[in-house]
């Protein structure tokens, strides 16, 4: 996370050569995707742990979608 913040600061700061900026952007996207994957796995683990504790799944797919500010899917 620290490295991602550093990349953002560098890219927002002074002018850099295009190749260097692109390399930093690619590294930042990779780190961002890794963070997102960790968060998604953690969310799933918490959901499983809570469902075991309470005997039910605490969030429906519709509630998760609404919480993210998206429209619920029409698939069901």
Range of the domain at 59: 2-67
Q: How many domains does the chain have?
A: 1
pLDDT of 27 higher than 80: yes
What is this structure's pTM? 0.58
Mean pLDDT (the chain) is: 82
Contact yes or no for 2/28 (Cβ under 8 A): no
**Residue 10 falls within a domain, yes or no?**
yes
User: pLDDT of 42-74, one tens digit each?
Assistant: 999 998 888 876 666 556 666 666 656 665 555
**Residue 73 falls within a domain, yes or no?**
no
For 7, 24, 36, 72, 73, the CA distances from 30, given in Å and listed in that order, are 12, 10, 10, 28, 28
Distance between CA atoms of 32 and 8, rounded to whole angstroms?
11
The encoded tokens of residue 40 equal 């998604």
Closest by Cα among 33, 35, 31 to 7:
31
């Amino acid at each position: 996370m620290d490295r991602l913040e550093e990349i953002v600061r560098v890219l927002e700061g002074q002018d850099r050569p295009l190749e260097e900026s692109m390399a930093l952007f690619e590294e930042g996207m990779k780190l961002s995707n890794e963070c997102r994957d960790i968060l998604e796995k953690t969310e799933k683990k918490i959901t499983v742990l809570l469902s075991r504790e309470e005997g039910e799944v605490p969030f429906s797919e519709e509630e998760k979608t609404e919480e993210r500010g998206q429209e619920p899917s029409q698939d069901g």
